[in-house]
Each structure stands twice: as C-alpha cells, then as structure tokens.
Amino acid sequence: SSDPLKVAVTGAAGQIGYSLLFRLASGALAGDRPIELRLLEIEPALKALEGVVMELDDCAFPQLAGVQIGSDPEQIFDGVNLALLVGARPRGPGMERGDLLEANGAIFTAQGQALNKVAADDVRIGVTGNPANTNALIAMSNAPDIPQERFSALTRLDHNRAISQLAAKVGAPVTSIKQMTIWGNHSATQYPDLFHATVDGKVAAEVVDDQDWLENTFIPTVAKRGAAIIEARGSSSAASAASATIDAAHDWLFGSADNDWVSMAVRSDGSYDVPEGLVSSFPVVTEDGDWTIVQGLGIDEFSRARIDASTAELAEERDAVKELGLI
C-alpha cells in the first residue's frame, strides 16, 4: 500500500537516532513507500530533537511524509505500525544493576502501556535500548492486548558482527556467510554459533577448523565488540546499531532471504530448552511481519553449555524485574 508507514523511534535525539532517522527517511527500511516518523524524547532533549528535525527537513527526502515529535508516548505512538524503542537509561556512576533495571522498568512499563492503548492493530515493536531483552519482556508484559510475538529485542548487531568476523577469518565476502545464529542475551554471555553457520554452503566451524580461535578469539570478539568500539571511538556504537535496527525491522516486515535465517530475540516457546517466556535470541525465519524459530538444529555439548549460561542470565534478569513488580 502507499499509505505512509508510521514508524515511532524513541530516544530519537540520541546517538543511534542521529543515524537511524536519516536512513529510515531515505528508504532503507521501506523503499519507495512513504514513511511518517513519530519521535519520542524526554522533555529536556526536545530542543536537540528539533535541531535533528531541521536537518531531516533539509534533506528533502522524497519518501518522508511527515515528522511529529513529543514527550508523551500516547501521543507519539498513536496509530504506529512499527515502534523502534531505542531510548533507554544508561548505567550512571555508582548505579547498581537493580537501579538500572528499575530506571528502565519505569520507561518500558509506560511505553508498553501506551503502545497497548494507541498503536495500530498490526504494530511490531523492536527494542534496541539496553538491557534490550529484558526491556522487551517488560514492555510485552505491560501490553496485554498486543500479541507477544509482536515484540522482539535486537541481536542483529551481534549477528552482523559475527558474520563480519567470520568472513574476515576465512577470507570470504560476507555474502558467502549464511545461517549465522546468536543465541541468548544481548550481553557478554551471548553465544554466536559457528556450528550451523555456513561459508559457501560448508559448516563454518569445519571451514575454520580451529576450536581455539572459535572459543578464545571469535566468541569474545563478537561478545565484547561494543566495549572495543567505546575504547576506540570514545563513544558507543551508533551507526552500526542503527543499521542493524533497520536490518532487523526490514526482514521482520518484508521477510528474511531464502535459504537463510536471521537472529532475533523473541519470546521463547521452550524451543531448544530455552525456558518458556524468556526473550532470548534464536535463529528465525521471517515473512510478512511474522517470525518462526528454526527447528531441528542439533546442539552439541559445547553449544548447550553456552546457551544455558546465557539463558540463566536472562532468567536472573527476569526474576529481578519480577521482584520489582515490573512484570
């Protein structure tokens, strides 16, 4: 249809927003289909956001059908087809983990409730703001009328990082790499899996044939890439996070490639013994706004231990937010 796709972005005046908005408006998500942006920020950041909107205007993007900004989620989310929840409360000095979960809990309970009330019937909600998996769980739990499969958390950046690291190791273009999977939490415990990924159709772990590299270089490099970027750039990854946010939304709405899959953190149905109800990353195929967990992959002992460690961390986060009364 040529009705504008209504896309909400929270934390729109932040670093990721500064890259994400321009790519959304230039057609990276929906091609020629017009897009209407609904930008949510906290009150003190609205002035900065006005400046970003001036720049969006100055791009004269043909597909940009309108921009609305504000600090009231019920107003901004009204009728949205896609909500990209990027804004979150970063960990400040001296902040304990419980404080962080509580601060984000306040944000994601309110946003879940607002989406429940005013979003379009076909809404899809992607959470980028950290702790992304648990923030998605909180939003989902506060939106009882929205089907739970409409919520996901972003592990596509980790997925893309894993593809890039593997491609460099084997000297192949990224297009040779298929069926990459990130399992578990978007955190240092995540498990990027080379036992199902392929390089030109061959099992990646066999092509690499170097368990020491896989275990002691590949996995930590992917899992700690965010910290390495902060160290090098002086601020956290933003353009790559925006790019992955678009990749994830694009594939969710328009479908993953044939003979391939993508990684998304979605509500577990108990597949692969990931406790039901946790928002955990899986290999999924997507079509027309729906995802399905890829079934039947063999999980060896090494992978089992890694997946279990990451989902144990997710269960701890869930228990902590349950204790805080957020879900």
Q: Which residues are annotated as a binding site for substrate?
A: 91, 97, 130, 161
| # of chain residues touching ligand NAX (CB under 6 A) | 29
Shortest Cβ 241–ligand NAX spacing (Å): 3
* Contact (CB, 8 A) for 111 and 141: no
Site for ligand NAX in 49-78 (CB under 6 A): none
Euclidean distance between CA atoms 275 and 308, whole angstroms: 10
Q: Considering beta carbons, is residue 225 or 306 the nearer one to ligand NAX? A: 225
CA 151 to chain centre: 10
Shortest Cβ 65–ligand NAX spacing (Å): 22
Q: Considering beta carbons, is residue 76 or 327 the nearer one to ligand NAX? A: 76
Among 5, 10, 139, 223, binds ligand NAX (CB under 6 A): 10
Mask of contacts with ligand NAX, 33-52, x by CB under 6 A?
-------xxx--x-------
For residue 235, count other CB atoms closer than 10 A to its CB: 9
Euclidean distance between CA atoms 52 and 9, whole angstroms: 13
Euclidean distance between CA atoms 76 and 73, whole angstroms: 5
Shortest Cβ 16–ligand NAX spacing (Å): 3
Biggest CA–CA distance in the chain, Å, is 55
Among 8, 9, 16, 137, binds ligand NAX (CB under 6 A): 16
Shortest Cβ 131–ligand NAX spacing (Å): 8
Helix, strand or coil for residue 159? helix
- Residue 157 binds ligand NAX, judged by CB under 6 A: yes
Q: Which residue is nearest to ligand NAX (CB)?
A: 14
Shortest Cβ 91–ligand NAX spacing (Å): 9
Phi-psi label, residue 271: left if phi above 0, alpha if psi -120 to 50, beta otherwise: beta
Site for ligand NAX in 241-270 (CB under 6 A): 241
* Contact (CB, 8 A) for 109 and 326: yes
Among 172, 238, 309, 324, binds ligand NAX (CB under 6 A): 238
Among 87, 126, 277, 283, binds ligand NAX (CB under 6 A): 87
Q: Considering beta carbons, is residue 48 or 65 the nearer one to ligand NAX? A: 48
- Owner of token pair 């989310």: 77
* Contact (CB, 8 A) for 116 and 229: no
Among 80, 88, 137, 246, binds ligand NAX (CB under 6 A): 88
The secondary structure of residue 71, as a DSSP letter, is S
Annotated binding site: 11-17, 91, 97, 104, 111, 128-130, 161
Q: Length of the chain in residues, anyone?
A: 327
- Owner of token pair 């946003």: 111
- Residue 84 binds ligand NAX, judged by CB under 6 A: no
Euclidean distance between CA atoms 90 and 253, whole angstroms: 29
Active-site residues: which are they?
186
Task: Give me the amino acid identity at 156.
Answer: R
Euclidean distance between CA atoms 238 and 236, whole angstroms: 6
Site for ligand NAX in 218-237 (CB under 6 A): 226, 236-237
Annotated binding site for NAD(+): 11-17, 104, 111, 128-130
